[in-house]
Amino acid sequence: MNPRKRNTVLIVGGAGYIGSHTTLALNEAGFETVVYDNFSTGHRDACFGKHLVEGDLANRAKLEETMNHFDVACVVHFAALIEAGQSVITPLPFFQNNVAGTLSLLEAMECVGAKKLVFSSTAAAYGNNTDVPLLHERLPRAPINPYGDSKVMVEMILEACAEAHGLQSIALRYFNACGADPDGQTGERHDPETHPIPLVIQAAQGKRPHISVYGTDYDTPDGTCIRDYIHVSDLASGHVAAVHKLLSSDQAGFMPINLGTGSGLSVREVIDAVKQVSGIDFDVVEENRRPGDPSKIVADARVAQDVLGWRL
């Protein structure tokens, strides 16, 4: 077998937040990395692939050309719209990019004979499953917003392709990514920023007049949403483990796997932590719930430990 074929990974959406960190981790692990991005939300200075191709997820011909040219062994797919609240207001772009775009990618993979895919999925697949202390992969998929719907649709497509075409895929269901590369090479740069930890930090820095808390009447100890916050470098290591898993096997199939810490923090606890560390008592404004926000999302990460050998 061609050595490059066993070692070349295409990172679709590799100029984004999690994609850039994962590219760094794949480089460190010795893979030949190819970043494919249209820079609609990613950053050129966050491209760490050994090769870069500027292209759109909908451009099937360019995807085929890229995979053939670099003899790609495995694809890692990050290219998605991710703002759950926005998906409730304007759902069509989420289905167009996240679902139709993934179909374009899968068609290209099928055409060139690429059979291994790590898919960036989401804990939003679980919806409001709050009757269990930790969310595990055996729970039914029950998303409550169009963003989650779009990711679940892709998971269903991946299952069908495993049966029909012999596709090998792992859907990594993320919980709340946070943090930045310890060496400062890349970090969180969303515009507009929607993730809670950087928003709270910006309030402490005086870059925002206040921090908003959306909903204080959830069924949680302090009434605010609880989330499982996982460092982005740990997420990146989970992708490397998933790539290794796929490349070590030729057995077709689909597997969803959680990547989380197994513990949660409420919005109030995050705010209090930032206030304590910064020594700044910034303003907090209580507002109404946002549509599509589950009350509690905390991972059961035992499958990642058992199947991928992934540890925090």
Asked if 9 contacts 21 with a C-beta cutoff of 8 angstroms, the reply is no
Per-residue DSSP letter, 242: H
Query: Exposed e or buried b for every residue in 163-187, given b needs 16+ CB within 10 A?
Result: eeeebbbbbbbbbbbbbbbeeeebe
Q: How far is CA 248 from the centre of its chain?
A: 23
Q: How far apart are CA 23 and CA 240, in angstroms?
A: 9
Residue 101 to residues 96, 144, 151, 202, 215: CA-CA distances in angstroms? 6, 21, 12, 33, 33
Residue 181 to residues 24, 33, 49, 235: CA-CA distances in angstroms? 9, 18, 15, 11
Q: Give the count of beta carbons closer than 10 Å to the beta carbon of residue 118.
A: 27
Q: Which residues contact 263 (CB under 8 A, 6 or more apart)?
A: 228, 298
Amino acid at the residue 300: D
126: annotated active-site residue: no
**Catalytic option among 17, 36, 126, 147:** 147
Tokens representing residue 33 in the block: 């990395």
Q: How far is CA 189 from the centre of its chain?
A: 15
Q: Residue 91, preceding bond cis, omega within 30 degrees?
A: no
Q: Annotated catalytic sites, by residue?
A: 147
